[in-house]
């Protein structure tokens, strides 16, 4: 009976009918049709046009895609931007050395001349978005083969991009929704001169570290400040000392009154990926095979990195960003699996699929069109399962597992381009330009620990059919750690001076020399086998699955015609809304909706790196000099949680109140709700946001950079 109640509570109308008020990542252009009335009933005081308008300044003009996978927002008329500390972490780390350790000590530019440039970092403003489904589908008919269909779609998308790019003034991107049942074009203005303005020390920006990652209650000052620069015409420009701060159409006013439980909140940003419409077969594969495999390899990798980083302060700086990147998904996958199991996700999916089939079987035409979908999924996922573990093992342990393996991939690719003079020149130049960053953050001793350990895990776990003959025949020798280390450290690839010269002078003779290098030969034998014997089949099976998913979604859309449906996130601008609220993750436990500086002091433990607190912050706590930033309880607020449906990519997103004012910066989800990418549960899924008052308090009282506040519009 209990199981039945759990399943029924999670079913919404007809299998995948419109989502509840707090579930969904909604397309801005459709808010007026499907969402704004509900938002206003929940307390929102503005209009759909205040959020998204292509003819007048709106909130969309104050939100950017930061880098390749985060969100940021404008907080001044001079291009000042706030995002998460972990979103800016890579840039902060690149600027850090033992002499200027901005990770440990923080960084604050005293004036605009001291702001640090970040080659390669971009921010993108959405200019407009528009549905182009009919244009993408032009020329298609039911009788065409898959290859022909894909060719026509690709050609149509290229024409659409060319049309909307405006002679390269803009970047145009076309993305599918609902597995290709719908298409939108997104037009962006890309700014290429983005400078670091300020960041707190890691003891604030990463307080709680990996211990608290994905966990509530949270006490992390997860923010960093950047500034967008433009040419004298306020248009995008390459870096130049002559560039000036960008003047945006819109920036967010900042509310200092804070939040209370039940307040309306809206998150506006670029969520990366959700998979809400996966069939039960896919969820089973994730729970039982894919997530456990990836977690096991990353557990070993993190342990080795931590050991080396603890032993050497230089290595700690070099590998800080790499460690954080590895750890983030590692912990998320564990929470996701736990949540899916506790919510009986397989039973929930099965119940939804049974309802779907009832609808299908109610009409002869539907039965002919959709009646075999789940039998097809059974077969496809059975085929995929044979390859999924090998795919995950290769990716986690070999292809992306170590620094040297990633460098081998780039050199191998370069060698394969030797016959294409233009492509070779471009790739070689790009590799040369990246070498300074690579060598700065490469430590042979550390990577020499990681590579042999991950190779052994890989060889112990992977089935023989997924290994090249030369490795399969010498299996035990490749598991021999001392022997492998000898090969590793005798390689030209682990000597940065020799490796730099090799890349700079790279030609056909260099490739021949590399191919005699035992380490290069071992890694390329594995990666070549992967690319010829595993990846093609794995990708083909997935293409077939996507085709079935498209048919599945077409049926769901047909059944729910005229009702709102959430399209899975795909790193495009979306709106999600909910309210400030705590939650009960387990029996007898309730978490309130906010945390304070007092909680930081309660966690303080100088013997644990994650819970070290800067002396100045301790002094500020003791002095209670909180004027202008304290909450109604007299404490400095640090973070709050709310029921907005978020995912990766929403990191750094503005959290906005009912008046359209900035109240926080989104940075995480609670661990109990990380399965929300696959199955959303309104009772336990919470986004976690930095309270903007804590960021301002740190900028002003801790960093002494109060001059930055003068740029902002602060609402008392």
Round the average pLDDT of the chain to a whole number and report it. 94
pLDDT, position 16: 55
Are 547 and 490 in contact by the 8 Å Cβ rule? The answer is no
Mean local confidence (pLDDT), 79-92: 97
Are 105 and 185 in contact by the 8 Å Cβ rule? The answer is no
Half-sphere exposure of 324 (CA within 13 A, CB side): 22
What is the rounded distance in angstroms from the CA atom of residue 450 to the CA atom of residue 303? 9
For residues 3 and 557, which has the higher predicted lDDT (pLDDT)?
A: 557
Q: Sign of torsion, CA 211 215 217 218? A: positive
Mean local confidence (pLDDT), 166-180: 92
pLDDT, position 23: 87
- Banded pLDDT at 22 (limits 50, 70, 90): low
Strand 662-669 relative to strand 654-656, pairing: antiparallel
For 574: left if phi > 0, alpha if psi spans -120 to 50, otherwise beta; the answer is: beta
The DSSP result for 661-703, as a single string, is -EEEEEEEE-GGGGGGGT---TTT--EEEEEHHHHHHIIIIIT
Q: Which of 139, 220, 70 is nearest to 596 (CA)?
A: 220
Q: Which of 291, 192, 224 is nearest to 70 (CA)?
A: 224
Buried b / exposed e over 246-262, threshold 16 CB at 10 Å, is bebebbbebbeebbeee
Cis before 217 (ω within 30): yes
What is the rounded distance in angstroms from the CA atom of residue 510 to the CA atom of residue 571? 40
Kindly state the percentage of the chain with pLDDT values over 90: 91
Q: Which of 405, 403, 429, 406 is nearest to 417 (CA)?
A: 429
Tokens of 128: 């407009």
Tokens of 68: 């390749």
pLDDT, position 2: 36
Strand 182-191 relative to strand 654-656, pairing: unpaired
Q: Which H/E stretch holds residue 335?
A: helix 320-342
Q: Which of 214, 206, 294, 56 is nearest to 611 (CA)?
A: 206
Q: Sign of torsion, CA 257 263 264 269? A: positive
Are 220 and 611 in contact by the 8 Å Cβ rule? The answer is no
pLDDT digits (tens, 9 = 90+) for 541-591: 999 999 999 999 999 999 999 899 999 999 999 999 999 999 998 889 999
Distance of CA 398 to the CA centre of its chain: 22
Mind telling me the catalytic residues? 86, 222, 651
Is the pLDDT assigned to residue 100 strictly greater than 70? yes
Are 273 and 571 in contact by the 8 Å Cβ rule? The answer is yes
pLDDT digits (tens, 9 = 90+) for 205-232: 999 998 999 999 999 999 999 999 999 9
pLDDT, position 686: 97
């Amino acid at each position: 009976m209990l199981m039945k109640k759990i399943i029924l509570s999670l079913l919404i109308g007809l299998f995948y009918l419109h989502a509840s008020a707090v579930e969904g990542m909604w397309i801005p252009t459709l808010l007026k049709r499907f969402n704004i009335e509900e938002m206003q009933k929940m307390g929102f005081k503005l209009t759909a046009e205040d959020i998204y308008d292509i003819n007048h300044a709106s909130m969309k003009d104050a939100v950017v895609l930061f880098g390749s996978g985060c969100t940021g927002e404008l907080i001044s008329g001079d291009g000042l931007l706030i995002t998460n500390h972990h979103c800016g972490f890579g840039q902060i780390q690149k600027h850090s050395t033992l002499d200027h350790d901005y990770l440990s000590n923080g960084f604050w530019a005293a004036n605009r001349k001291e702001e640090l440039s970040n080659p390669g970092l971009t921010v993108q403003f959405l200019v407009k978005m528009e549905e182009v489904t009919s244009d993408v589908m032009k020329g298609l008919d039911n009788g065409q083969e898959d290859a022909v269909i894909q060719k026509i779609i690709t050609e149509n998308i290229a024409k659409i991009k060319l049309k909307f790019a405006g002679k390269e003034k803009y970047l145009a991107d076309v993305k599918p929704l609902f597995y290709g049942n719908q298409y939108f074009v997104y037009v962006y203005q890309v700014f290429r001169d983005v400078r670091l303005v300020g960041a707190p020390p890691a003891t604030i920006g990463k307080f709680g570290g990996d211990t608290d990652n994905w966990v509530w209650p949270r006490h992390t000052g997860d923010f960093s400040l950047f500034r967008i620069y433009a040419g004298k015409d306020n248009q995008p420009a390459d870096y130049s000392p002559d560039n000036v701060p960008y003047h945006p159409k819109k920036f967010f006013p900042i509310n200092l009154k804070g939040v209370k439980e039940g307040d309306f909140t809206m998150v506006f940003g670029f969520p990366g990926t959700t998979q809400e419409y996966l069939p039960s077969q896919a969820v089973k594969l994730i729970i039982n095979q894919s997530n456990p495999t990836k977690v096991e390899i990353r557990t070993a990798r993190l342990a080795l990195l931590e050991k080396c980083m603890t032993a050497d302060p230089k290595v700690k700086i070099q590998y800080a960003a790499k460690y954080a990147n590895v750890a983030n998904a590692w912990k998320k996958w564990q929470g996701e699996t736990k949540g899916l199991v506790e919510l009986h996700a397989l039973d929930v999916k099965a119940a939804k699929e049974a309802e779907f089939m009832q609808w299908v079987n109610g009409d002869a035409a539907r039965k002919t069109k959709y009646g075999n979908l789940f039998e097809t999924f059974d077969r496809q996922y059975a085929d995929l399962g044979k390859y999924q573990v090998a795919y995950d093992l290769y990716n986690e342990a070999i292809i992306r597992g170590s620094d040297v393996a990633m460098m081998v991939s780039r050199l191998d690719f370069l060698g394969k381009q030797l016959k294409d003079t233009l492509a070779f020149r471009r790739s070689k130049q790009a590799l040369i330009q990246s070498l300074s960053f690579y060598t700065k953050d490469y430590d042979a001793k550390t990577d020499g620990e990681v590579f042999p350990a991950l190779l052994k895990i890989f060889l112990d776990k992977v089935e023989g059919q997924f290994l090249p003959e030369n490795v399969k025949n010498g299996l035990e020798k490749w598991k021999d750690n001392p022997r492998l280390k000898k090969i590793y450290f005798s390689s030209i690839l682990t000597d940065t001076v020799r490796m730099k010269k090799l890349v700079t002078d790279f030609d056909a003779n260099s490739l021949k020399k590399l191919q005699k290098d035992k380490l290069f030969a071992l890694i390329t034998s594995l990666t070549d086998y992967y690319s010829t014997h595993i990846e093609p089949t794995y990708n083909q099976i997935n293409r077939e699955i996507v085709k079935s998913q498209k048919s599945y979604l077409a049926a769901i859309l047909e059944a729910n015609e005229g009702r709102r449906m959430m399209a899975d996130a795909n790193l495009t601008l979306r709106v999600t809304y909910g309210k400030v609220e705590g939650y009960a993750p387990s029996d007898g436990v309730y978490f309130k909706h906010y945390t304070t500086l007092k909680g930081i002091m309660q966690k303080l433990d100088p013997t644990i790196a994650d819970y070290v607190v800067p002396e100045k912050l301790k002094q500020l706590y003791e002095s209670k000099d909180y004027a202008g930033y304290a909450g109604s309880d007299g404490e400095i607020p640090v973070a709050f949680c709310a029921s907005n449906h978020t995912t990766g990519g929403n990191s750094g997103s503005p959290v906005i109140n009912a008046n359209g004012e900035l109240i926080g910066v989104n940075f995480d989800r609670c661990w109990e709700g990380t399965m929300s990418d696959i199955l959303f549960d309104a009772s336990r899924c919470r986004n976690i946001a930095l309270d903007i008052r804590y960021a301002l308090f740190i900028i002003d009282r801790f960093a002494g950079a109060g001059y930055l506040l003068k740029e902002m519009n602060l609402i008392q």
